[in-house]
Amino acid sequence: MKQFEANFDGLVGPTHNYAGLSFGNVASYSNAAQASNPKAAAKQGLQKAKALADLGMVQGVLAPQERPDLYTLRRIGFSGTDAEVLQKAAKQAPALLNACCSASSMWTANAATVSPSADTRDGKVHFTPANLVDKLHRSIEPLTTGNILKATFNNDRHFKHHLHLPEHANFGDEGAANHTRLCSDYGKAGVELFVYGQSATNPNAPKPVKYPARQTLEASQAVARLHQLEDESCVFMQQNPDVIDQGVFHNDVISVGNQNVLFYHEQAFLDTEAKFAEISRKMNSEVHFIKVSTEQVSIDDAVRSYLFNTQIITLPNGEMAIVAPTDCQENPAVFAYLNELTTLGTPIKQVKYFDVKQSMQNGGGPACLRLRVAMNEQEIAAVNQHTLMNDALFNKLNSWVEKHYRDTLTVADLADPQLIIESRTALDELTQILKLGSVYQFQK
């Protein structure tokens, strides 16, 4: 049976804005309070998704979340009509309003961790939504994420959906951004590499001093247990705390893998040699570790350009391509490196650039915008087919964005009650386009 890796890109929600919500994420902080363009953001995302579908990749979309999140605002004591809740929050606690308005669910690499059926003991594809407890604006995502995943991968025979991990710092979980699956072939059992920022239960273990380590070892181990993975197919590796302190808030800002390739910066991990030896032993087949040295690309350039927040994809002809943001073209050291990379004799033969600047300004590159799900033909047939990208869906979603999205949004606009109506009208229509049923609270 044929095997594929599908990418499910997050649709950018109508409230996409720059509120500076993510301490430790350099782009989020440095673009705080700028005006955003939700329409352009959504269209940039759609262009990338469609281009991958046109390359012959299996490409899907995941719906965004309902924002403003009035349920959380009511839960923390704001009362009255919807408009009153919004206006009271804007006046009394603007930071809380901003947290309840973020379109951060667009970064679906943080939606969940996914283990394909070839790796799991029960032969199902397992999903665990990330609890994202490190950031308030993200911690309100997992329940709705679970609803959206269940409506998209809606078949109990093939897909197993878990509840997100307990909402406590000991179980800080950021999903696929800190998880890479290596394999010789998508359909063969592989090695799942879990990269954590700190161990919550060992106070003496290394950890960053300036910025938070969002993923814990304990969370990664819990996900591996839930997903019924064999010890022999898991590797737990620690991210270098020094690079977290330089703005590498997720592992996918400093390394990315695909099949038997792991592309990484030499400063990405702790204990690199021993852990790579463990990966090679557990893979039992050749692994290409493509190292980028500090001399070639500094951590600062990697964080600014998102060289490692790229997607490495296997094209239908078997060659690999790297999907990079145009910011990589604009950075001389990174552009020179990428031009050289395709000549080095590694499996990566092409670079494809995409403008995803609206997302980049919040620290989200091409890889943040997608959740990878390796599936066989039967599993793909069991996915909600209305979520899979093709010409018709692309045209429908572009018209939907054109109809409902604003082309400028400032943080001050988040207090506008009209935004609630616009957002709910758009999302209600989207659930009909994607045939998701009632995934949002306002629909229940």
Q: List interacting residues with ligand SUG (CB under 6 A).
A: 18-22, 25, 28, 102, 104, 107, 109-110, 135, 138, 177, 249-250, 252-253, 362-364, 368
Spatial separation of the C-alpha atoms in residues 15 and 422, rounded to whole Å: 10
Quick one: angle between helices 418-433 and 82-92, nearest 10? 120
- Cβ of 442: how many Cβ atoms within 10 Å? 14
At closest approach, how far in Å is the CB of 435 from ligand SUG? 27
- The values of phi and psi at residue 67, to 5°, are -140, 145
Q: Active-site residue among 174, 192, 218, 379?
A: 174
Give the angle subtended at the CA of 26 by the CAs of 23 and 28, to the nearest 5°. 70
- Is 202 annotated as a binding-site member? no
- Beta carbons within 8 Å of 208's beta carbon, 6+ residues apart: 197, 198, 241, 242, 244, 245
Rg (Cα) of the chain, in Å, rounded? 20
Is 250 among the residues known to form the active site? yes
Looking at the Cβ atoms of 21 and 62, the one nearer to ligand SUG is: 21
- What is the smallest separation between the CB atom of 178 and ligand SUG, expressed in angstroms? 8
Tell me which residue has tokens 């591996």: 224
Quick one: 303 or 388, whose CB is closer to ligand SUG?
A: 303
CA distance 343 to 349: 7
Q: Which residue in 224, 205, 182 sits closest to 271, CA to CA?
A: 205
Please state the closest distance from residue 368 (CB atom) to ligand SUG, in A: 3
Residue whose CB is less far from ligand SUG, 102 or 260: 102
Binding residue per annotation — 74? no
* 18 vs 78, beta carbon nearer ligand SUG: 18
Q: Is 218 a catalytic residue?
A: no
Amino acid at residue number 226: L
- Ligand-binding site membership of 214 (annotated): yes
CB 405, min distance to ligand SUG, A: 17
CB of 127 to ligand SUG, least distance (A): 16
Nearer to ligand SUG (CB atom), residue 182 or residue 253: 253
315 annotated to bind ligand: no
Minimum distance, C-beta of residue 136 to ligand SUG, in the bound complex (Å): 10
26 assigned to a ligand binding site? yes
Q: Which is nearest to 222 in space by CA: 157, 126, 156, 147? A: 126
DSSP per position, 272-312: HHHHHHHHHHHH-S--EEEEE-TTTS-HHHHHHHTTTSPEE
Which candidate in 16, 141, 368, 404 is catalytic? 368
Q: Which is nearer to ligand SUG, 110 or 310 (CB)?
A: 110
Q: Any known ligand binding at 24? A: yes
Distance between CA atoms of residues 19 and 411, nearest Å: 6
302 marked as part of a ligand binding site: no
Q: Which of 5, 92, 109, 19 is nearest to 52 (CA)?
A: 5
**174 assigned to active site:** yes
Query: Distances in Å between the alpha carbon of 365 and those of 108, 201, 252, 282, 407?
Result: 11, 32, 10, 30, 21
CA distance 354 to 253: 17
Q: Is 28 annotated as a binding residue?
A: yes
339 is in an annotated binding site: no
Catalytic residue among 158, 179, 227, 250: 250
Of 204, 42, 192, 48, which Cα lies nearest the Cα of 115? 192
Concatenated DSSP letters of 180-243? EEE-SSTTS--EEEEEESB-TT-TTS---SSS----BHHHHHHHHHHTTB-GGGEEEEEBPHHH
Minimal distance, residue 367 CB to ligand SUG, in Å:
6
Nearer to ligand SUG, 26 or 46 (CB): 26
- Residues of the binding site: 19-28, 110, 137-138, 214, 252, 362
Residues serving a catalytic function are 174, 250, 368
- Residues of the binding site for substrate: 19-28, 110, 137-138, 214, 252, 362
